[in-house]
Structure 1
Amino acid sequence: MLQPVAVVSAHKGDVNCCCFSPNGKLIATASGDHTVRLFESSNGREVDQSPLRGHQFYVNVCVFSPDGRILASGSTDGKVKLWSTETCKEIGTLDVHISGVRSAAFSADGYHLAAGSSAGVLKVYKVSSRRMYRSLFAKETSIVALSYSPNGFLLASGSGSGEIRLWDPYAGLSLTSTEADDLCVSTCVFSPHHTSNVEQQEDGTYKLTHRFVLASGGQDHTVKLWNVVNIEGETSILHWQTLSGHSGPVYSVCFSPDRLYLASGSGDKTVTLWDMGYRTAVCTMGDHTRYVTTVAFSPNGKGLATGSNDKTLRIWKVVDPSSVAAASEEEPALIVGECRMAKLLSERGIKPKCPLGGWSVDDVGEWLRKIGLREFEQTFRDNAIDGTELLGLDAQMLADDLGITALGHRNKILRAIRELYSSATTNNGVPEEFLCPISMEVMQDPVIASDGYSYERSSILAWLGEGKQTSPMTNLPLASSSLTSNRQLKMLIERHLSVSNQQQKEQTSDET
């Protein structure tokens, strides 16, 4: 899955952070040698104006603005510096922290920059004026990780005390927090995609709901996935799953732009690529000789950069050996990386009722118009893309065969395809995480097993009652047979079913 492209040994100190420019042409690195450097992503060659000098101590973090014009860096010297990516010259220094800057993140619109310090102070700046917009205080602990939600409404922070905290960066409010690790949350990052929906209430008002996925890593050697739900300002964070496999602390995680993969770097000197559909490890690379401190996907998802305490930056090509899963004559192909639910249904000999395989070219054209991509309708017609062909498309085919060059358009099409398939294969649109992986039915009494997954209590008890001592999801040995009630998940399921039942009643009423 990962093919080496280049090994860069320009730094004389640890590579603490790396990131791709929005156009994917450059990779920036922050190092313990007090410098920030820029490299060409295609071959690892350092650009002529590099390195960028100005910090007096370790540079812990670097991040590009969404438009790619500014590179921000944070250092143990307590300064956040802004650099022009065109001239590689310093264009400003933000308000100095009283302690080292450990983390930084731009908002999705690029108007704000958040920076976290070793003293637990979180500052949000207006980039245009270089002035502080908000100053927040978490705890007397380091803020070592920051990530804005893709819509910019939320800001997640990870701390040295093992806590993940969610903030409203505009109101300057702490919304909620959860203990994610016994020692330290070294990294946290929002998935690049989220879902939003508007529901009309009985009193005629409307309720807006945003749902996000957040990944974190820490000293417990695992990657944790969280469901973040924001309903009219009320925010909750719910543990979803735990990905186990590393034998050392997880220092960095990063989603691919299409959210099909998650990369993690660890103190065990390895980089692991996880399939987010099946939530299993795809491959693990151990080419670094010391801790892997940072991982970053390229904007098109075809490249991966990793940095380490071995003072090297490694650039990889992400290769999918089979971009489309094999399909029988009776059943259309599934997209690789699709939901684990589809795989489990297939393993149990259950064929989902998926009408998309019967779609005509005209049906596909109508679907494109509905999702706001009318401009590609003729291209799909010219290539005779019907329902079966639609389900077989992947990012490379969209770019190379259909000539859809814009990353945003390709991602929108793939997301819409996944939503079509998911709604056709799961229980009438019930979110996958609400279904028991054993019975495939909506959970009524969800419990968390020692593998970190949630199951219907009766189903997992029956599984254990058969003498099975392995996880139904990972096939690895279960640490114990103890079960913990997942009250938060039960509440979300009940809320979802209540809304669905109300919508069905309203629809029935309208029809009569």
Structure 2
Amino acid sequence: MAELIHTFADHGDDVNSCAFSDTFLATCSLDKAIRVYTLNDFKEVPFSPLRGHTYGVHCCCFSSKSPILASCSTDGKTILWSMDNGQILATFRQPTDSPVRVCRFSPSSLYLASGAADGTVVLWNVPLLKMHRSSSVKDGSLVACTFCPRGNIVVTGSSCGDLTAWDENMRCLQEKKAHDLGVACCDFSSQTVTTSFSQVLSWFSLGFEMICKGTLSGHSAPVLALHSILCPSFLFYGNKPRCVLHILNHHNRYVTACAFASAHPLLATGSMDKTVCVWKLGNNKNDLTGKSETFIPPFNDTVEHWSEDDVRTWLSEEGLSEVEHLFKVNNIDGKELLNLTKDVLLQDLKIESLGIRNKILRKIEELKNTLNSAVSDAPGEFLCPITCEVMKDPVIASDGYSYERTAIESWISAKRTSPMTNLPLENLLLTPNRTLKMALMRWLETPSQPTPGM
């Protein structure tokens, strides 16, 4: 379904973002540079790298209407670059000089939005090269931004976990608590999609109301980036996020960026390992909507909450469509699915084939194992935001969050920023969280709770 066709290793530090145009791939990094490659031969263009920022570059994006690339940086600037010669066309300075974490063109490229660490968001008029409107969120840093397909609504995501919808005049339409641990990225498809540090949620706009439509929980560590593909079936079956279609394993550190090419079957991923990988996606329907590697429950964390339709969808995706009608006739929902036995399958559902009965029971067992490994009984405050595992030695970092000691020590040894906000840590002091550790010990001593790792 996806084949690695090229790896770029030109950056000298973490890759923060990547973006496609019809002819170019752009990447940016903490090394202060933006690099541009052609898609026909994956060679770096003569005017690359682009150097105009004085600090790390956090985000880059292409205009869909003209050969212009935008980039933003900790230096408080958003720069427009010509893709004809690499020259700077304009420099937009955030009114507060706060580090700019994200930038995004509107679909028409009339506007460019820039979001900053102090919570300010600015709409720049690109043709006039001046500020159109600005506003700010109540709390947190802005680290995510996207325009709806019509371009009349822009959604921002903050480190506090809020999604905020704005109109073209930066009037707040709605503010929604989306994630507990901060929104890392957001993007629109036919539905709106947002990510947090621990899970992926899909949202859609109903008028000016954002409603949580489903949860994807396939990741076991912080989710730092996502990008929706133009073909909705790649991510969605019908109107529900269903399953993991393919897992790409190549980077050896956190994947911090991803982007689909609208004009080519290509996916780019960037990582803290300083590399960018380009993947060629399957170009036929079976490749994009075929058998999944891991089934993820559509809305609820447990199978027992599945509807009869969810069960039949699962059967179809597991290659058991020939028994869907029998499950429908017998009104098998998620709770009944978990209690199926060989005798029930034979006597009640009248499935005479021993092979099919064994396959159904084997798939149910695999499903239970997947859910048991993906869903923890531990309260959220006991889980380390980096490892998503129950902490044994919780410490408080200077960002105010608690982490497993070994995990945060490993993190700050490579990158001295907060895993939660991506902002520089004031200091590297780690303070034991004795209150949390005592609560952890009480929870672990409760007979009904399993010991982590057992």
Distance in 1 between residues matched to 2:220 and 2:323, nearest whole Å: 37
Residues 348 and 47 (structure 1), Cα distance of their counterparts in 2 relative to 1, 3 Å cut = closer
Q: In structure 2, the residue corresponding to 1:150 is in which secondary structure? A: coil
Q: Give the letter aligned to residue 105 of structure 2.
A: F
Deviations for 1:440-490, whole angstroms, at most 9, x for unmatched residues? 9xxxxxxxxxxxxxxx9x95566678799x999966436599xxxxxxxxx
Q: Secondary structure at the match of 2:371?
A: coil
Amino acid at match of 2:209: S
| Residues 299-318 of structure 1: pairs in structure 2 closer than 5 A | 299-318=262-281
For 1:477, the equivalent position in structure 2 comes to 371
Q: CA deviation at 1:291?
A: 1.0
Distance 1:310 1:324, change over 3 A: closer
Q: Offset at 1:246?
A: 1.3
Aligned to 1:136: 135
Please tell me whether the aligned partners of residues 94 and 100 of structure 2 are also in contact (alpha carbons under 8 angstroms).
no
Q: CA deviation at 1:259?
A: 2.2
Write the distance in 2 (CA, Å) between the matches of 1:258 and 1:473: 29
Percentage of matched positions with identical amino acids: 31
Equivalent runs, 1:111-260 vs 2, <5 Å: 111-168=110-167, 170-191=168-189, 193=190, 213-220=191-198, 222-230=199-207, 235-260=208-233
SS in structure 1 opposite 2:185?
Answer: strand
Query: Deviation digits for residues 383-426 of structure 1, max 9, x if unmatched?
Result: xxxxxxxxxxxxxxxxxxxxxxxxxxxxxxxxxxxxxxxxxxxx
**TM-aligned CA distance change 1:46 to 1:301, over 3 Å:** closer
CA distance in structure 2 between the partners assigned to 1:34 and 1:274 by the alignment: 40
Cα gap change, 1:474 to 1:223, in 2 (>3 Å): farther
Residues in 2 aligned to 1:121 and 1:313: alpha-carbon distance in whole angstroms: 30
Equivalent position of 2:285 in the other structure: 323
Partner SS, residue 83 of structure 1: strand
Deviations 1:157-208 (A, max 9, x none): 111001111111x1321111222221211011011x3xxxxxxxxxxxxxxx
Check conservation: 2:80, 2:88, Cα contact below 8 A. Answer: yes
Q: Taking structure 1 as reference, are residues 167 and 473 closer, same or farther at Cα in structure 2, changes over 3 Å only? A: farther
Query: Residue 26 of structure 2 is aligned with which of 25, 28, 31?
Result: 28
Shift of 1:73: 0.6
| Structure 1 residue 86 displacement after superposition | 0.7
Structure 1 length-normalised TM: 0.58
Paired with 1:311 and 1:275, the residues of 2 have a C-alpha distance of 37
The superposition leaves residues 314-339 of structure 1 with CA deviations (integer Å, 9 ceiling, x where unpaired) of 1110125x6349xxxxxxxx976999
Evaluate the alpha carbon distance shift between residue 219 and residue 151 of structure 1 in structure 2; reply closer, same or farther with a 3 A threshold: same
- CA spacing shift, 1:131–1:227, aligned 2, 3 Å: same
| CA gap 1:461/1:99 in 2 versus in 1, 3 angstroms | same
1:86 aligns with 2:84: yes
- Distance, in Å, in 1 between the alignment partners of 2:15 and 2:237 is 23
Residue 12 of structure 1 is matched in structure 2 by 12
**Equivalent residue letter for 1:77:** D
* Superposition pairs of residues 499-510 of structure 1, within 5 angstroms: none
Paired with 1:276 and 1:337, the residues of 2 have a C-alpha distance of 18
Amino acid at match of 1:291: Y
For residues 239 and 228 of structure 2, what CA distance do their matches in structure 1 show? 9
Confirm or deny: 8 A CA contact 1:291 1:309 kept in the other structure. yes
SS in 2 for 1:110: coil
Please give the secondary structure, in 1, of the residue aligned with 2:247: strand
Using the TM superposition, give the Cα deviation of residue 349 of structure 1 relative to its aligned residue in structure 2, in angstroms.
4.8
* Letter paired with 2:271: S
Distance 2:113 2:130 in 1: 12
Say whether the 8 Å CA contact 2:25–2:38 is kept in structure 1: yes
Alpha-carbon distance change, 472 to 70 in structure 1, aligned in 2, over 3 angstroms: farther
User: C-alpha offsets along residues 183-238 of structure 1, whole Å, 9 cap, x if unaligned?
Assistant: 211011011x3xxxxxxxxxxxxxxxxxxx11112222x111112211xxxx1111
1: CA distance between counterparts of 2:93 and 2:222? 32
Which range is displaced more, 336-345 or 61-70?
336-345
**C-alpha separation in 2, matches of 1:119 and 1:236:** 25
1:275 and 1:282 in contact (8 A); partners too: no
CA shift for structure 1 position 260: 2.5
Unaligned runs of 5+ in 2: 293-297, 299-308, 342-360, 378-454
8 Å CA contact retained: 1:17, 1:30: yes
- How many residues are aligned here? 332
Quick one: distance in 1 between partners of 2:29 and 2:8?
13
**TM-score, scaled relative to structure 2:** 0.65
Deviations 1:5-35 (A, max 9, x none): 11111111111100001x2x21011111111
Task: Spell out, residue by residue over 1:140-169, the C-alpha distance to the aligned partner (whole angstroms, 9 max, x if none).
Answer: 31100000001112111111001111111x
Partners of 1:323 and 1:54 in 2: CA distance: 43
User: 2: distance between equivalents of 1:164 and 1:44?
Assistant: 36
CA distance in 2, matches of 1:480, 1:17: 31
Q: Distance in 2 between matches of 1:224 and 1:245?
A: 11
* 1:235-263 alpha-carbon deviations (Å, 9 max, x no partner): 1111111112211111111111222324x
Q: Please give the alpha-carbon distance, in whole angstroms, between the structure 2 residues aligned to 1:189 and 1:279.
A: 18
Secondary structure (helix, strand or coil) at the match of 2:250 reads coil
Contact 1:277 1:337 (C-alpha < 8 Å) held by counterparts: no
CA-atom RMSD in angstroms: 3.5
Q: What amino acid is aligned across from residue 43 of structure 2 in structure 1? A: R
Contact 1:219 1:249 in 2 (8 A): yes
1:87-145 deviations in Å (ceiling 9; x for gaps): 11001111334210001111111100100000000000100111111111102311000
Q: Deviations over 1:57-87 (max 9, x none)?
A: 0110111011241111100000011111111
Counterpart Cα distance in 2 of 1:49 and 1:91 = 14
Report the counterpart of residue 292 of structure 1 in structure 2: 255
CA contact (8 A) 1:7 1:314 kept: yes
Corresponding letter in the other structure for 1:245:
G
**Is the CA contact 1:257–1:300 (under 8 Å) kept in the aligned structure 2?**
no
Contact 1:5 1:43 in 2 (8 A): no
Offset of residue 42 of structure 1: 3.8
Q: Equivalents in 2 of 1:37, 1:480: separation in Å?
A: 41
* CA distance in 2: counterparts of 1:136 and 1:254, whole angstroms: 25
Note if contact 2:234-2:289 (Cα within 8 Å) is conserved in structure 1. no
